[in-house]
Structure 1
Amino acid sequence: MQHVPYVGSGPYCYANSFAMMFGEAAPSPAVIEFATSSPFGMQLIGGSLPFFDPYGWDPEAGFDGALAALGWTSEVSKGDDAEDALSRLRSALKDGPVWVGPVEMGHLRHQPGMTGPIEADHYVVVLALDEERVLMHDPQGYPYASLPIGDFMAAWSAKLTYGDSFTMRSGFSRVAEVSEVDAIRASIPAAIHWLSMVTDRAMPPRSLGNAEAAEALAARIEEGCDKGLRAHLIHFGVRVGARRAADAATCLKRAGFAKSAAIAGEQAPLIGALQYPLVLRRDAEAAEALRRLAPTYDRLLSALRGGD
């Protein structure tokens, strides 16, 4: 099957937020996402929570390397109490928009159905702030969204599974003109690192990566896919995982990594194939797709190490 690049909506919040901060010089969100190394692996955290991203990885682990590969820098600030954080945000906004996150999506009440924490991380671009409301571009599909300060601060202060409260990036500066293809090539060493499952990050007991994660998730789905796991996969995990793999295939092909691109191009439809059976509760079909996905991670690592 011929690989066709995907264009459309999806949960690419931090990549889209970075693209907004870069302005006219922004590479495509696909290249930004690729540079974070997110497509290169799979993990089953604590043996129960699956993500189609590298073992031991979280978005914060990929940002600085991505910015360097893309030719950008930014100033990061985090922590402090709510009053200090709000003061930092007001000050930074004097020089332009500010990239904010991770925040707890469940407190972003401009999104329909959000009434409280849902344990979902998110990133937004804050445009302005007055005494009562925050104006932002929310890449979930809400440009110029307005939110009461109280709700915004609740989202920004939330303790998530990674990152620190009140984290923001400002002072974005382009330090080198890097083409998209050169940015892709500069990101390959990081992709190999993460796909190799080499990490000094502490992982919860029973955590698994790559083929073992795919096999274990397949078994768990067959044994009984509970409501929370199914919701996580069909509303977020599968959607973002399939898009990441599709974008990886597109980027690798552009940079001349034909064999690696072909393998990523196999992964994308295998991950995407999980959506229908999981929604329809045809769990044996989903498990079969995961078992077919499992060996592709070692194959992709070998191809990347071989420079193809």
Structure 2
Amino acid sequence: MLSYIGNGAYCYANSLSMLLETIGEKVSPALLEVLSGVGIGATWIEQPKLLFFGEMIPDRGVSHALELLGYEWKEISGDVEGEPPLEELRRDLECGPVLLGPLDMGHLTYNPNAAYLGGSDHFVLAYKIDDNAIYLHDPAGFPYVSLPLSEFVIAWKAECIIDRVFSYHYWAAPKRKDSPSEDEIFANAVRYFQKIYQTSASAAPNSEVLYGNEAILRVVKRIKEEEGLMPAEIAHFSYFAFQLGARRAMDYAEFFIKDAPEFAAIKEKQAKQFGRCHTLIVEKNFQALADALYELAEMEEKFRRVICES
């Protein structure tokens, strides 16, 4: 497989990698991304009509990655209607950096594009807080930035993030508890991926949320049989979903190559197909995109079947 080195929307994986490095543990963002399980499957949400290439959300995926690697940690969250746990955050930051998220990107005012990013989730590493601001390493390209506490609290509430599970959420104080072998990590990860698929398969039928190949085929239907893609959908695919999908699929292929070359081969094909879909959406060649998405749906179903039958 041809390697690729470059940027990608790996905010939680990059932030977690930085957090682990503070305790002397070097774990690549690529491995953390894979073990989070966030790139497994696909999900269609009818309102606001968006397709995500994954079924597990980062709010839970970060914890799964830590568990698979043998760490223990402190995890804090709050009630969206309650007060933010700022004092506990202050105490934890006195002991070391913390991973914060999800944050609403629309309130990360050090980002010059913040005004256009409202409702998008993001994860960062915080290393200091005072009475006026919180100080961050943002893996989207903003090291050593500060954010006024008034904006931070709103971002941290994450009220407008559609797939939010937690408000006022962070991870702190990771510590190695076990040292699983590579074979153990691989076997436990595959069982975790199977569980993700099994959970979506057992979900009650719901036309508002679709999973797997059905989620992808919903977009094919919108292009071929309905009104076509709305501007928000086009922007989602053009600036985020396909390029992220390609990078994730490549990292999964690399993870599988030694112990499950059949899985790796499917993921490599998916990566190339994501790249083709990105090219077509930017060209606005929607009919060809629909055909490419149909093939992507077939690849997704094949991967689900082979990994669940393994």
**TM-score exceeds 0.5:** yes
- Cα distance change of structure 1 residues 171 and 252 upon mapping to structure 2, 3 Å threshold: same
The CA distance in 2 between the partners of 1:88 and 1:59, in whole Å, is 22
Runs of 4+ in structure 1 off by over 4 angstroms are: 80-84, 179-182, 199-204
- What does the per-residue CA deviation read over 1:225-278, in whole Å, with 9 as the maximum and x for residues that have no partner? 111111111112112211111111110113x10101001111111112111221
- Superposed, 1:123-134 pairs within 5 Å as 123-134=123-134
- Cα distance change of structure 1 residues 224 and 140 upon mapping to structure 2, 3 Å threshold: same
- Superposed, 1:44-55 pairs within 5 Å as 44-46=44-46, 48-54=49-55
- Cα distance change of structure 1 residues 35 and 103 upon mapping to structure 2, 3 Å threshold: same
- Cα distance change of structure 1 residues 183 and 225 upon mapping to structure 2, 3 Å threshold: same
CA RMSD of aligned residues (A): 2.2
How far did 1:5 drift? 3.4
The CA distance in 2 between the partners of 1:66 and 1:172, in whole Å, is 12
Match of 2:65 in 1: 66
CA contact (8 A) 1:107 1:116 kept: no
- Superposed, 1:81-230 pairs within 5 Å as 84-115=84-115, 118-159=118-159, 160-161=161-162, 162-179=164-181, 182-196=184-198, 198=200, 205-222=207-224, 223-230=227-234
Highest relative contact order (Cα 8 Å, sep 6+), 1 or 2? 1
- Cα distance change of structure 1 residues 292 and 10 upon mapping to structure 2, 3 Å threshold: same
The CA distance in 2 between the partners of 1:269 and 1:93, in whole Å, is 42
Gaps of 5+ in 2: none
Aligned partner of residue 95 in structure 2, secondary structure: coil
Match of 1:245 in 2: 249
The CA distance in 2 between the partners of 1:53 and 1:14, in whole Å, is 15
Gaps of 5+ in 1: none
CA contact (8 A) 1:195 1:297 kept: no
CA contact (8 A) 1:27 1:180 kept: no
- Identity, % of aligned pairs? 31
The CA distance in 2 between the partners of 1:85 and 1:97, in whole Å, is 16
Q: TM-score, normalised on structure 1? A: 0.90
Aligned partner of residue 171 in structure 2, secondary structure: strand
Aligned partner of residue 101 in structure 2, secondary structure: strand
Aligned AA (2:271):
A
Report the number of matched residues: 302
How far did 1:97 drift? 0.2
How far did 1:31 drift? 1.1
- Cα distance change of structure 1 residues 250 and 117 upon mapping to structure 2, 3 Å threshold: closer
Aligned partner of residue 195 in structure 2, secondary structure: helix
Q: TM-score, normalised on structure 2? A: 0.90
- What does the per-residue CA deviation read over 1:149-175, in whole Å, with 9 as the maximum and x for residues that have no partner? 111112112312212221111121111
